[in-house]
Amino acid sequence: MNPEKNPSRHSFWNSRAWQFRPAEWRTLLVLGDFIVAVLALGIALYLWAIGDRWLGLSIEFLRERVPFWFYALPLVWSILLLELYDVHRIGDWQATVRGVGTAALLGLGLYLLVFFYFAGSPKSILPRRGVAGFVVVASALMLVWRHLIYQVINNRQFVRRFLLVGAGRSGQELLEVFENMNPLPFTLVGVIDDNYPNLGKQIRKYPVLGGSNCLLDIVTEQYVTDIVVAISGEMRGQMFQVLLDAQEKGVEITRMLVLYEELLHRVPIQHLDTYWLLHSFGDEARVSGFYVIIKRLLDIIGGLVGVTAFLLILPFVGVAIWLESGRPILFSQTRLGRGGKPFEMVKFRTMRQDAEADGQPKWATEDDSRATRVGRFLRKTHLDELPQVINVVRGEMSLVGPRAERPELVKSLQETVPFYRARLLAKPGITGWAQINYGYAASVKATMIKLEHDLYYIKHRSLWLDLLILLRTPWTVLGFRGR
């Protein structure tokens, strides 16, 4: 089909400003959610004010009835919706409804805790009508707004059209990622490959449309906006030239490694080489002294707050552990810190005293039979890790970082998992990018996926990413996703 003969499609061909990338969809969601929350705040104030027979919606009402913290509700609401900023969930309407409902219930639950704690305070400080109105209006408006986004992203006119170049190992792994991603944030029209036995075949349900000799024709006929290059070996001169020609036509060229990171927030360790590692962790992952200082200050402050919480729950958790399985309440275990330096990590004991009677380290598994009943609850809620705040205050750990592992496991895994020791470039943390996105690993394959998250964090670490991880951690705890 020639786009010049189809004006409507030609218009679409020239309207790429409306075809967003995943990161751009996320920015639109964050901005739109905040605007909706501000609008909900205004409506809630109006509904609250018309119920006030004396002041109504006036300057006096805003000054005398509305506490200062009420105006922060849009920001709090946006934080409660953090789990819905995953672009993979934009097209999942059921997940959106569940997320908005959970945010509403969690917000009301937090308010009720504060309300009953300050029960003796003046009613104007804790306005039930205003908060309830905001939650109801914000939930309703958010569903309307997200449904609009849902309709837009499922309209093919607003979705970018990708063409994959390369059907080898890298290309097939990327296709496997596409298969497991529902919905896919773009349309994949097919695959280009110069391996002629593949022509006319389907690879993971996607057709091989041709070789480099017909790439430009396919770009025109299929209205391709992006080309993903998944060629791990040497690229032929003809392929390189047609990719340059396509780029001159306005098609964006992306490497497989870049798209993999953008979609999954992981790095594909099976397709990395030493040059990539040196470039990413030598050039891109260097952090400033300012980041190091601020991160340590946050660790000290957060660690001291955590120590206070630890001392408050210690009597209750300690008695529960002691009544079920005796002592010790706490136990320490050697783990590796930054640079492979060993330290003693402190935790609540969650397993029987003979959990490793033979002295050999074992994977923690789902519903581990070695765990006590109290221990299973502590592990599900991650409360077993609270004593690690002692390690944070000491400087052996951070609030955010890769999970600290035992020397025996590190020695074993670095022999089978590529670049495994690279995770020791950062100080281990109580929570981290891998912990909130994947959880525990109980096999080599799961460890590889978790390492991909860890390396992504080390490459992109910043104060903003650390803050995002800390804000998302309560969802992991509330979701009982521990093991």
Question: DSSP H helical segments within 340-462, as ranges?
Answer: 373-381, 389-394, 407-413, 433-437, 444-460
Q: Give 347's DSSP letter.
A: E
Give the mean pLDDT of 35-64.
Answer: 81
Question: Can you give the pLDDT at residue 14?
Answer: 44
The burial class, CB within 10 Å (0-12 / 13-18 / 19+), for 265 is: middle
Question: Can you give the pLDDT at residue 364?
Answer: 64
CATH 3.40.50.720 domain position(s) in the chain: 159-264
Question: Can you give the pLDDT at residue 3?
Answer: 42
Q: Residue 277 pLDDT > 80, yes or no?
A: no
Question: Can you give the pLDDT at residue 270?
Answer: 83
Question: Can you give the pLDDT at residue 26?
Answer: 82
Using an 8 Å Cβ cutoff, are 204 and 144 in contact? no
Give the mean pLDDT of 192-214.
Answer: 83
Using an 8 Å Cβ cutoff, are 372 and 352 in contact? yes
Q: Which CATH architecture has domain 159-264?
A: 3-Layer(aba) Sandwich (3.40)
Cα 84 to Cα 150: distance, rounded to the nearest angstrom: 12
Residue with the larger pLDDT of the pair 86 and 338? 338
Question: Can you give the pLDDT at residue 421?
Answer: 86
Per-range mean pLDDT, top range of 156-165, 316-325, 368-377: 316-325
pLDDT digit string, tens, across residues 61-119:
777 778 888 889 999 998 888 878 876 667 678 888 888 988 888 888 888 877 776 66
Give the mean pLDDT of 189-215.
Answer: 85
Worst-scoring range by mean pLDDT, 69-83, 277-291, 296-310, 369-383? 277-291
pLDDT digit string, tens, across residues 217-272:
999 998 899 999 998 777 888 888 999 999 998 899 999 988 998 888 999 888 87
Q: Residue 2 pLDDT > 50, yes or no?
A: no
pTM reported for the whole predicted model: 0.81
**pLDDT mean across residues, the chain:** 83
pLDDT digit string, tens, across residues 135-184:
999 999 999 999 888 887 777 677 788 999 988 888 988 998 888 887 77
Cα 423 to Cα 453: distance, rounded to the nearest angstrom: 10
For residue 329, what are its two tokens? Answer: 């309440």
